[in-house]
Amino acid sequence: TIDMGSQHKSGKQQEKNGSLKLYVQIYNVIQILLCSYMVYGLMPCISFPNIFGINSEFDAQGEWFVFVHYLSKFLDWFDTLWIILKKNRKQLSFLHVYHHMTIPMVWGYLLHNGVANGTTRYGAWVNSLTHVIMYSHYLWTSFGLRNPFKHLITGWQIAQFYSCLLHAFVVRALEETECWKMAWLQICYQV
């Protein structure tokens, strides 16, 4: 049955939702901190005018932060758990489930093939930055506060998507390291 509002919930249900809210808030804080760590660690590959890090060197630090990003994709599965526990079926879309189930495989494939470095850091960086924005919004609004920038978040997510697609085409055209071979993976995944 669909819950029609908190005034109709039993005391036990309100208590359950209150503790779930606390867990989600803690999760949001963890995501903000972890993603901020990745944004900071992946920043060296982002510089003007080479924002995609084309032909940037492979280094242990870059690979470490891509590995952390890969691991964070498993943490993202909690998003799906929260949706299920909140019984918010509208948010449980095919795209949501597909993305959360497949993106760890993509990053794992890049790590396994030794190309989770160099220009591939851009995708991890921009996704981590997007997650800092999203989880900050979720945390802020979980306290009942209005976010005056809410309308910009979806636009940012769409811009991230298109920037990653553009990144893949630029990599195909300009990258001289082994990463260029993997650009097709990104293009196919996004299309």
Of the candidates 133, 125, 164, the one whose C-alpha atom is nearest the C-alpha of residue 31 is 133
Query: In the block, which residue shows the tokens 């901020």?
Result: 36
Q: Which two tokens stand for residue 56?
A: 């940037």
Alpha-carbon gap, residue 155 to 177, rounded angstroms: 32
CB burial readout 71-105, b (16+ within 10 A) else e: ebbeeeebbbebbeeeeeeeeeeeeeeeebeebbe
Is 99 in the active site?
yes
Q: Would you say 56 and 121 are in contact if contact means Cβ atoms under 8 Å apart?
A: yes
Alpha-carbon gap, residue 123 to 183, rounded angstroms: 11
Using N-to-C axis directions, what is the helix angle for 77-85 and 11-42, rounded to 10°?
Answer: 160
Q: Which of 99, 112, 131, 137 is catalytic?
A: 99
Active site residues: 99
